[in-house]
Amino acid sequence: MTSAAALVERAIAALERLAGLGETIADEWTYVHDLETVWTARLRAVAASPTGLSVPDAELETAIDELVAEAGRIVDPHRAIDWLSTLPTATLVALGEAAW
């Protein structure tokens, strides 16, 4: 079974890919990187919290894998920008954390 921190890093890697796609829209470059920066920090803070994440179960691992896979299917830069908030929010909910 994968650790919760490793699951978070999978989501962050998918977030980085989405940002790379979204940054192809020149007018959105700053917005894209602001979202990437803030959400990456939030996800890593959750993974590193002193209380720690509970040991992931198979359902959690499957949920994160499905989110990452869905993000991986995105090819439209505008949809990628939408998912720069959707992916981390859904990841936090799957982890049992407050999304906002």
74 belongs to a structural domain: yes
Query: Which residue range is the domain that position 76 belongs to?
Result: 4-94
The tally of domains found in the chain comes to 1
Quick: pLDDT tens for 35-93. 999 999 999 999 888 665 665 688 989 999 999 999 999 999 999 999 999 999 999 99
**Residue 82 is assigned to a structural domain of this protein:** yes
Residue 64: partners with Cβ closer than 8 Å, 6 or more residues away: 7, 10, 11, 91, 94
Residue 100 is assigned to a structural domain of this protein: no
48 belongs to a structural domain: yes
- pTM (global) more than 0.75: yes
Burial class (CB in 10 A: 0-12, 13-18, 19+), 94: buried
99 falls within a domain? no
